[in-house]
Amino acid sequence: MNRDEALARITEPFDVAIIGGGATGLGAAVDAASRGYRTVLLEARDFAKGTSSRSTKLVHGGVRYLAQGHIGLVREALRERGRLRKNAPHLVVDLPFVVPAYDFWSGPYFGVGLKLYDVLSGKQRMGRSRSLSREEVLERIPTAKPEGLRGGILYFDGQFDDARLAVTLACTAWEKGATLLNYAPVTRLIRSGERLSGLAFRDNETGREHTLQAKVIINATGVFADEIRRMDEPDAAPTVLPSQGAHIVLPQKFLPSANALIIPRTDDGRVVFLIPWKGRVLVGTTDHEVDRIEVEPRAAEEEIELLVDHAARYLSLPLQRSDILSTFAGLRPLVRPRTNSGETRSVSRDHQIFTSSHGLLTIVGGKWTTYRKMAEDVVNQAVKIGQLEPRPCPTADMPLHGAPVVSPSASTSPATAAPSVDPLDPLAVYGTDSHEVRALAVADPSLAARLHPRLPVIGAQIVYAARKEMARTVEDALARRTRALLLDADAAAAAAPAAAALMARELRRSADWQRAQVEDFSRLCRNSLHASSDRPGNGSARVARR
């Protein structure tokens, strides 16, 4: 992807214009472009800057949704899980989950639900759930608290790198002919008579405003969807109910295992996951409505306390706040229900599409696992609104950028295909592009060195991010093209000067730019280690506690 080339393309008229470069928008760009429609996508900041890089990193049907009765959502998500596993084997790996049983009733209760999960998975099942003895639980989770442990349940789901999948979707859309621009916020929508016919956007790197023509516009901006809708209809009623989910990241010693641990019920009635991820342990998530929609949400003190407290209840190792390597929070764009109970965890994760009187399509809700189906649905609607030539959607069986080529004679059944990557190999997420990253390190041995001893990030990845993946800032490179910020905030801050120097060389930036980039990113790193000061009643956080 090349940003200068993308800017040069915007003079041509488009069939589909997409606002928003998260999971839904990027998925829609892949879908529309792969059908042959002239497609452009504009992102106000960086691809996956918001919610789409702040998930629990799971490709799953959603075990807890079964208890809420959302059978259709679970079935659809499990079907999409299988498709994503097949289409992006370099990004999705199988992950075994252990549900420990400390009460007599919990084993049979979860066992029945997970058997239903197996049935709904059908041929795309990753593994068969089964009961575990006490000894088997401790073998799989060596740090589980042994006191009172009766046994457990084993089941399987998928794991991925959310920001890297977003970059992969962007690269896939580009390959299919789409034009993509980051740091290009939409400033106004343009009408011809009573129908939308285009939009204006600002190039944040130059400050110049540009306009483009499009037959139909898709608003896929997540929690910011209502802002775009009000550009079209100033009195538009809100459609988004923003819900914050926070996570903490711990050292691997707290879960030295290839298995994830599930806390089956928290004090506020949620499920919390402890997941091995890239040599760390990711703990999350929370779920509560927020009053403010922020570009850079921060975990509230109550959220961090809840996660630390519940993780400590199930672990034999003492866990303290000082053990946290990083925290992050994202805002879910839930569809606002007609009656709000105040408990966002009970709100459906299904998606909805809204059409304005002027033809603006807005899609909200959904989850990462179902991004492809969401994209298919909204592009189908865009074809009708924009009066485009109907063409079939090819994405259900379409490999994404970087996916290894599979021999026609080889089995491609999601139920039997083994993970093709090492989840601890930092270059595995590049798929077939990994040789290009390695080639950079061979050509310049200085790029083979790690930016920091505690981070699995080498200089070649930063150069590649700027050269081929449209990374424009140090944050883009260290938070999303690589996951340094999430893995260890202090180490990421220490790596920032080296990353800034490499990016400045690639992007032809000044020494002043380097200094500003390091300052901005270091501030972000500090924020990721310190909770928001918001408290219930005076800000954005309302965490249920009993």
pLDDT digits (tens, 9 = 90+) for 386-433: 999 999 999 999 999 999 976 555 444 444 444 455 666 889 999 999
- Residue (of 494, 453, 445) closest to 474 by Cα position: 494
Q: Are strands 39-42 and 179-181 parallel, antiparallel or unpaired?
A: parallel
Query: Does the residue 360 lie in any domain?
Result: yes
Same domain, 145 and 213: no
**How far is residue 49's CA from residue 475's CA, in Å, rounded to a whole number?**
9
**Residue 39 preceded by cis peptide, ω within 30:** no
pLDDT value at position 406?
64
Cβ partners under 8 Å of residue 153, min gap 6? 98, 99, 101, 107, 110, 111, 114, 129, 130, 131, 132
Average pLDDT, the chain: 90
For 18, what's the count of Cα atoms within 13 Å in the CB-facing half-sphere? 35
313 and 436 share a domain?
A: no
Verify that 68 and 203 share a domain, yes or no: no
Residues 131 and 43 occupy one common structural domain: no
373-377 long-range contacts, CB within 8 A, separation 24+: 373/76, 373/80, 374/24, 374/27, 374/28, 375/24, 375/27, 375/28, 375/30, 375/31, 376/31, 377/351, 377/353
Please tell me whether residues 328 and 367 are part of one structural domain.
no
CA R_g for the chain: 23
Give me the residue label for tokens 């390959």.
175
Name the DSSP class of 388: P
How many angstroms separate the CA atoms of 506 and 514, rounded? 12
What pLDDT was estimated at residue 268?
74
pLDDT interval class at 544 (50, 70, 90): very low
Lowest mean pLDDT: which of 102-106, 253-257, 270-274, 466-470?
102-106
Q: Is residue 231 one of the residues assigned to a domain? A: yes
pLDDT at 89 over 90: yes
On whether both 232 and 359 belong to a single domain, the answer is yes
How many whole angstroms separate alpha carbon 397 and alpha carbon 87? 7
Determine which of 181-185, 313-317, 344-348 has the lowest per-residue pLDDT on average. Answer: 344-348
Q: How far apart are CA 43 and CA 34, in angstroms?
A: 20
Q: Are residues 142 and 206 in the same domain?
A: no
Residues in the chain: 546
Digit-coded pLDDT (tens) for 95-113: 999 999 987 555 555 666 6
Residues 6+ apart with CB under 8 A from 538: none
Q: How many domains does the chain have?
A: 3
- On whether residue 393 sits in a domain, the answer given is yes
The domain boundary residue, chosen from 335, 365, 382: 335
Same domain for 281 and 154 = yes
Task: Report percent pLDDT > 90 for the chain.
Answer: 78
Kindly report the CATH number assigned to the domain that includes residue 446.
1.10.8.870
Instruction: Dump pLDDT digits (tens) for 130-185.
Output: 899 999 999 999 999 999 999 999 999 999 999 999 999 999 999 999 999 999 99
Give me the residues paired with residue 132 across strands: 152
Q: Residue 133: helix, strand or coil by DSSP? A: strand
Q: What is the DSSP string of 230-296?
A: HHH-TTPPP-EEEEEEEEEEEEGGG--SSSEEEE---TTS--EEEEEETTEEEEE---EE-S---SS
Does 178 fall in a domain?
yes
* pLDDT band at residue 62 under the 50/70/90 scheme: confident
| CA–CA dist 460, 443 (Å, integer) | 10
Residues 354, 329, single domain; the answer is no
pLDDT band at 345 (very low <50, low <70, confident <90, very high): low
- Range 431-441 average pLDDT: 97
Is residue 30 situated within a structural domain?
A: yes
Distance from C-alpha of 465 to C-alpha of 436, rounded to nearest angstrom:
11
In a domain, 303, yes or no: yes
Residue 501 belongs to what domain range?
428-529
Record the tokens describing residue 414, joined without a space: 């999601």
Phi, psi of 391, deg, nearest 5: -140, 145
Q: Give pLDDT, residue 115.
A: 72
- For residues 328 and 356, state if they share a domain: no
**Rounded alpha-carbon distances, angstroms, from residue 522 to 325, 476, 500, 517, 518:** 15, 13, 12, 8, 6
Q: Are 191 and 115 in a shared domain?
A: no
Please report whether residue 36 resides in a domain: yes
According to DSSP, the residues that pair with 359 across neighbouring strands are none
- pLDDT, residue 339, reads 60
Please check the confidence at residue 240 and state whether its pLDDT lies above 70: yes
CA distance 163 to 183: 17
What tokens were used for 14? 């488009």
Crossing angle of helices 23-34 and 162-175, rounded to 10°: 20
Cα–Cα distance for residue pair 83/122, rounded to 1 Å? 13
What's the pLDDT score for residue 417?
A: 46
Residue 40: strand, helix, or coil: strand
List of residues 6+ apart from 139 with CB closer than 8 A: none
Averaged pLDDT, 434-448: 97
What's residue 112's pLDDT? 66
Domain of 72, CATH number, reads: 3.30.9.10
Asked if residue 383 has pLDDT above 90, the reply is: yes
The identity of residue 537, as a single letter, is: G
Residue 66 inside a domain? The answer is yes
Query: What is residue 471's three-state secondary structure?
Result: coil
* Rounded distance between C-alpha atoms, residue 164 and residue 187, angstroms: 28
Question: What's the CA gap between 92 and 423, in Å, rounded?
Answer: 9
Parallel/antiparallel/unpaired status of strands 179-181 and 130-133: unpaired
What are phi and psi for residue 450, nearest 5 degrees?
Answer: -70, 145
Distance between CA atoms of residues 5 and 2, nearest Å: 5
CATH number of residue 15's parent domain = 3.50.50.60
What's the rounded Cα separation, in Å, for the pair 51 and 502? 27
**Is 206 in the same domain as 252?**
no
Cβ-contact 128, 148 below 8 angstroms: no
